[in-house]
Amino acid sequence: MSLKKGTVQIEGLDELIRKVKKMDKLAPAETEKSMKIIVDDLWSKSNNLVPVGETGDLAGSGHTEVGRNYRGKIEGLVEYTEPYAIRQHEELEWKHKPGKTAKYLENPFKENIYKYLRIINNGIAKAVRK
């Protein structure tokens, strides 16, 4: 997940990172599949919360990626690319339409961290059984 530990404190994040590293050593292909499930789920949940302005461009700019960095480590990304995406995410005082909110990525990640841990744990168990 592309979350910097120093900027956001999320209970369970350290455990998730540790488990992803463990799984990646055991079964890299299975790790990529599990990471794809996680980022797609997070994108879907966040896209339902993305504030909608006059153009709707923010929601349309969202996408996911799963791949390896230059060190060969797995990375998952959920990103909104509009120039105002970060500010829109962080401005808690801005008014939004019903069901839309700031923290549209952070909140669903926090709410689903244990679901994502289960996905990784299931992947580890599957890799060990092979």
Write down the domain spans for the chain: 13-129
Percent of the chain with pLDDT over 90: 46
Return the residue matching tokens 């339902």: 48
Distance in angstroms (rounded) separating the CA atoms of residues 94 and 57: 17
Residues 74-125 have pLDDT tens digits of 999 999 998 888 888 888 898 888 889 999 999 999 999 999 999 988 888 8
Longest dimension (CA), the chain: 51
pTM for this model (two decimals):
0.86
